[in-house]
Chain A
Amino acid sequence: MRELLDDIDRWRTAGRKVAICRVVDLEGSGPRLPGAAMAVSEDGEVAGSVSGGCVEGAVVDEALAMLRAGAPAHLVRYGISDDDAFAVGLTCGGTIHLLIAPLDW
């Protein structure tokens, strides 16, 4: 979280909406521990990371869709067993759970 503050502050000062995506749980092996966080601005700027790069693209899409629709915070899960494993799966075989939430607080 600490490493995201400069970018988040810059986006909020410019009046841009921000989503914050945090790893909240991990089953099996995973590249980043719970607490790993990524912030996404409504115009698609990204700070931080939530995995070794395996799922970041999908998380950004999810966060932008949420901000665009004004949708609420929600949990998402990515794992090797998902049907779309080749698209966004974790190659290490673990499953990560993320909370994707508007930073409206």
Chain B
Amino acid sequence: MSGRYEALSRALRSGEPAALATVLEGGPVGATIVVRPGAEVLGALGDPELTRVVARDALAALGAGRGGLRHYGLRGEARQGAVTVFLEAFAPPPRMVIFGAVDFTGSLARVAAGLGYRVVVCDARAAFATARRFPQANEVVVEWPERYLARVGDALGPGDAVCVLTHDPKFDLPAIVAALRTEVGYLGAMGSRRTHGRRLEALRAMGVSEADLARVMAPIGLDIGARTPEETAIAIAAEIIACASGRPAPRLRDREGPIH
């Protein structure tokens, strides 16, 4: 049967969720189904009951963002080892929202795109926020950060990132407050220790709780001595990876003294 690769490829290109399940042992080796939420299962794994059970597990794997090897009975029974299936979950790519169309934004957008993020650059200043300046971004939005997050913030989850690079309290503060209302997994803000000290005072005065303030990674990035926009992008991306994996990488936030 043909058409399964095309369906998978369309889903991957458009960032829609899809899963692939392939028989490795105990059945028709290489038999493959393509599973998408709300769409019919394409292909078959031999036994119809096995196909049905594996398709269900593939959807669950998609929700959990984890694939891997699964074992079944010949007719899809659980806790049996007759058939081995490889499940692959292609979740939509994570999102990075960068507030501030500044020098550092292009470099960060480029690094984030390389890591598989769908990158949105948002700045209220139409002169700076142009697709021409940020070809690496999937989307460039001219809007106030808090208005943008009011529109799309609900869609942000633990795998997504918000980076506030504006350096300007007039944009930074509402952006941070709005981002704290989302479930976003990583929230970082650029600025020197002095800038961030003033920012913390202002955020406290706005009623932001200490627990929420602790979510803000600032000064943004790992302590690798980054100076240029390109180096800083690496330091930020590395901090996002370390936060997600829970590794104790040296964060600028956790040290004292000058950043550079």
The residues of A with any CB-CB pair to B shorter than 8 Å are: 1-2, 5, 8-9, 12, 22, 24-25, 34-35, 72-75, 99, 101-105
Which of A9, A34, A99 is close to B30, meaning CB atoms less than 8 Å apart?
A99
Q: What does DSSP make chain B's interface, helix, strand, loop or mixed?
A: mixed
List, in ascending order, chain B residues with CB within 8 A of A2's CB: 12-13, 90, 116
List, in ascending order, chain B residues with CB within 8 A of A25's CB: 69, 86
Q: Is A34 in contact with B86, judged by CB distance below 8 angstroms?
A: yes
Q: Which of B40-90 contact A (CB under 8 A)?
A: 43, 67-69, 86, 88, 90
CB < 8 Å A-B pair total: 58
A104 to chain B: closest residue by CB: B2
Which of B4, B30, B88 is close to A101, meaning CB atoms less than 8 Å apart?
B30
Given contacts A72-B29, A99-B24, 9 further A-B contacts (CB under 8 A): A2-B13, A5-B9, A34-B86, A35-B88, A72-B30, A75-B24, A101-B32, A102-B30, A103-B5
Q: Is A73 in contact with B29, judged by CB distance below 8 angstroms?
A: yes
Q: Is A5 in contact with B30, judged by CB distance below 8 angstroms?
A: no
List, in ascending order, chain B residues with CB within 8 A of A34's CB: 67-69, 86, 88
Q: Is B86 in contact with A101, judged by CB distance below 8 angstroms?
A: no
Given A35-B67, A72-B29, A101-B30: A5 and B12 within 8 A (CB)? yes
Measured CA separation A99–B22 after assembly (Å)? 9
B9 to chain A: closest residue by CB: A5
- Min CB distance B9 to A, Å, is 5
- Min CB distance B94 to A, Å, is 13
Given A75-B25, A105-B2: A1 and B88 within 8 A (CB)? yes
Q: Is A24 in contact with B9, judged by CB distance below 8 angstroms?
A: no
The residues of B with any CB-CB pair to A shorter than 8 Å are: 1-2, 4-5, 8-9, 12-13, 20, 22, 24-25, 29-30, 32, 43, 67-69, 86, 88, 90, 116
B10 to chain A: closest residue by CB: A5
A102 to chain B: closest residue by CB: B30
Q: Is A24 in contact with B12, judged by CB distance below 8 angstroms?
A: no
B2 to chain A: closest residue by CB: A105
Given A34-B68, A99-B22, A99-B24: A5 and B32 within 8 A (CB)? no
Measured CA separation A75–B86 after assembly (Å)? 12
List, in ascending order, chain A residues with CB within 8 A of B90's CB: 1-2
- Min CB distance A65 to B, Å, is 16
B34 to chain A: closest residue by CB: A105
Measured CA separation A99–B90 after assembly (Å)? 18
- Min CB distance A9 to B, Å, is 7
B85 to chain A: closest residue by CB: A24
Measured CA separation A25–B67 after assembly (Å)? 11
List, in ascending order, chain B residues with CB within 8 A of A72's CB: 29-30
Give the top 4 A-B pairs by smallest Cβ distance, nearest first.
A73-B30, A24-B86, A101-B30, A105-B4
List, in ascending order, chain A residues with CB within 8 A of B67's CB: 34-35
A3 to chain B: closest residue by CB: B116
Which of B24, B29, B32 is close to A105, meaning CB atoms less than 8 Å apart?
B32
Measured CA separation A104–B1 after assembly (Å)? 8
Measured CA separation A38–B24 after assembly (Å)? 17
List, in ascending order, chain A residues with CB within 8 A of B30's CB: 72-74, 99, 101-102
Q: Is A105 in contact with B43, judged by CB distance below 8 angstroms?
A: yes
